[in-house]
Structure 1
Amino acid sequence: MSIWIQVVQHLQPGGIETMALDLQRMEEAHEQGVIISLEGTKQQALQDWPRLRPYANRLMFLNKQPGFRLSTLWKLVKLFRRWAVPVVHTHHIGPLIYGGIAARLAGVKVVIHTEHDAWHLRQRRRRMLQSFALKWVRPMIVADANLVASELKSALGFNDEQVQVIKNGVDTHSFAVGDKHLARQLLGLPIQARLIGCAGRLEPEKGQAVLIEALNSLPQDVHLVFAGDGSQRQALQRLVMALKLQARVHFLGAIESMPQFYQALDLFCLPSYFEGLSLVILEAQACGIPAVVTNVGASTEALCPRTGTLVEPGSAFAMAQALEQQLALKATGNPRQFVKQAGDLRTTARNYAALRHRYL
């Protein structure tokens, strides 16, 4: 049995963390994957994100405190040596610095690093740090979208041979078309309303306030439903009250059955200011739900061109127009078919497995 390690910054609900779990779940029969979270504790993570519970015995938490911690680096070096780890896969800059450097010091054969977005490289300090870490660790570099690959090459001077693209994928067996009426009953949502859904952390960069403001311009039978939690929940609820939209906005918090959430919708919306290649866009479309998303990051690569709509971020007026137009449209294509062709998890998992085995 071959042990392989993924290193993430934390294990909280999010796209990177979901991808790490999915890759572990889709590993090959002779592999045993472990995910190491630099931050946090297992008890808190399992409490905050019930989805982690089936994987609990293959999760480790280092509870790293803020700032650079040499002790965390040496913990990883000792762990990789003790387990004779052949493969380490890091996700984003913090895990690259700790997990990547530790892997090289421990003599790990295969080091893979996935970059999930590149907007942070616009900051000179982050760009220099990332460049140093990549040149020192010398991993196989993966971008999860064409846009991310292009920005990596432009910002850090890599060529096409040094950066390969493996696009994010979702499980199209789990995320599938379902019974809308039943899904709404189970989630306690209004049966007759036209429902627009949004999934993700409730944080400023996710732009949910713009979506709530847009609802104020939409017909009374249109409701919003949010899946997810975060630091902005109370602020968003105050905005809902100020606009007198309490009867039309539903906060579900963190829910375990995301396919059921998407199946309850008429339309999905992601109003973010920043994104990489977002899994939630793919998940909604895999359930047959068309999407309206902001034109940021690699969202264009995740959006079905026949059924989806792009809108510029930050404008409630533009968002309301796009949502109303999309709700009025008759289906002209199949977003699920797009995801099966361009964003299926099994293709993603096979491509990463090929990287893990390349030099073993």
Structure 2
Amino acid sequence: MKTVIQVVQHLRPGGIEIIALDLAAFAQADEKTIIISLEGDLHSAVAAWPRLKPFSEQLIFLNKQPGLRPALLLKLLRIIKKTGADAVHTHHIGPLLYAGLAARLAGIKHLIHTEHDAWHLNNSRRRLVQRRAVSLIRPILVADAQTVADNMRTFLQYKNKITIIRNGIDSEYFTPGNKIMARAFFNLPSDVQLIGCSGRMEKVKGQSVLIHALSKLPVTVHLALAGSGSTETALRTLVNLLRLNNRVHFLGHIDNMPTFYQALDLFCLPSLNEGLPLSPLEAQSCNIAALVTDVGGAKETLCPDSSQFIAADDCTSMAETLLQMLHNPSNNKPRAYVKQHGDVRLMARSYAGLRGPLVTSGECYE
């Protein structure tokens, strides 16, 4: 039995954290997965995110405080040795610095680092730190999208191989359903065309652009927003100013996401920055076409026969494209595309191939 340790900065709802949980849930039969969160504690994390509860026995929290914490390196080194880890997989720069160094000191052969976005490397300090970390630690570098790999090569001045393993979702969980029943579940109107958007309510997610786009659409088009965050109050104020109160539905945090997607006519991701987002894959797996902004690897999630992308931060173009997609829906259903190209099982097998004798089904970027 192989022991694989994944290391993340924190375990709060988000794309990286969902990927870590899915890799644990769909691990190979001969692998045991442990997830280490640098920040937080088990009780608080599970209370805030109940999805963690089934994984409780596999989770370790180190309660890291802000700032540089050299003692954390020693803690990680002891855990790696005590568990007899065969592989260490880090997600993002903090875990790479602490767990990557600890893994090298422990003599770990299979050290993998996944970069889930590269826009943060626009910051010169972060770019320098990560460039030096990669040079010193020498992990197997993975990008979750072609765009991310391209940016990593440029920003990190990296000349060796970068493996592309695209994020995946559980297509057996995200399935088509009954639209009328789904809307009734959330108390949403049944006689309108409904656009949906899910994600943290933060400026970078672009929900304000989508709300402005909605104001340009017919009154029979409504918007359902799933999620919460620091911009929620500002978004509600914007909705009031644009007199859209009856057309925008704030649903808050949702655990039953398949039902949310099943309620929609169209999904929209209006982000200003992304890595390779999961929500368009989830929506399309439920046979809901998606419109995304051309940021990060977002367009790499799309079924080319039914979904579309546009430039970011352009509410006029967004409104025009949303209206065209609502009035002329594609006859091609995107679920088959997601099952073939974006399923979590493919992702899990690809990572397993980097840790052992299996041949990876990820793409190599030279």
Q: TM-score, normalised by structure 1?
A: 0.96
Paired position in structure 1 for 2:142: 142
> What is the rounded CA distance, in whole Å, between the counterparts of 1:358 and 1:133 in structure 2?
27
> What is the rounded CA distance, in whole Å, between the counterparts of 2:144 and 2:193 in structure 1?
33
* Equivalent residues of 2:196, 2:223 under 8 A apart: yes
> What is the rounded CA distance, in whole Å, between the counterparts of 1:156 and 1:243 in structure 2?
43
- Unpaired runs of 5+ residues, structure 1, are none
The equivalences for 1:198-277 within 5 A come to: 198-277=197-276
Q: RMSD value over aligned CA atoms?
A: 1.4
SS at match of 2:224: strand
SS at match of 1:273: coil
Amino acid in the other structure paired with 1:123? N
Deviation at 1:173, TM superposition (A): 0.8
Paired position in structure 2 for 1:117: 117
Deviation at 1:10, TM superposition (A): 1.0
Q: Which moved more, 1:119-128 or 1:130-139?
A: 119-128
The equivalences for 1:6-155 within 5 A come to: 6-155=6-155
SS at match of 1:247: coil
The equivalences for 1:280-359 within 5 A come to: 280-358=279-357
> What is the rounded CA distance, in whole Å, between the counterparts of 2:329 and 2:112 in structure 1?
44
Amino acid in the other structure paired with 2:265? D
Partner deviation per Cα, 1:16-60 (whole Å, 9 max, x = no partner) = 111111110001222221111111222222122221121122112
SS at match of 1:27: coil
The equivalences for 1:159-178 within 5 A come to: 159=159, 162-178=161-177
- Any runs of at least 4 consecutive aligned residues in structure 1 with deviations exceeding 4 A, and if so which? none
Partner deviation per Cα, 1:104-137 (whole Å, 9 max, x = no partner) = 1122221111111111222221111111111111
* Equivalent residues of 2:305, 2:330 under 8 A apart: no
Partner deviation per Cα, 1:65-104 (whole Å, 9 max, x = no partner) = 1111112221111111111211110011111111111111
Partner deviation per Cα, 1:236-286 (whole Å, 9 max, x = no partner) = 111112222121111111111111111111000000000111111111111
Identity of aligned residues (%): 52
SS at match of 2:102: helix
- Unpaired runs of 5+ residues, structure 2, are 359-366
Deviation at 1:358, TM superposition (A): 4.2
Q: 1:26 to 1:178 in 2, by over 3 A?
A: same
**Number of residue pairs matched?**
358
Deviation at 1:2, TM superposition (A): 2.7
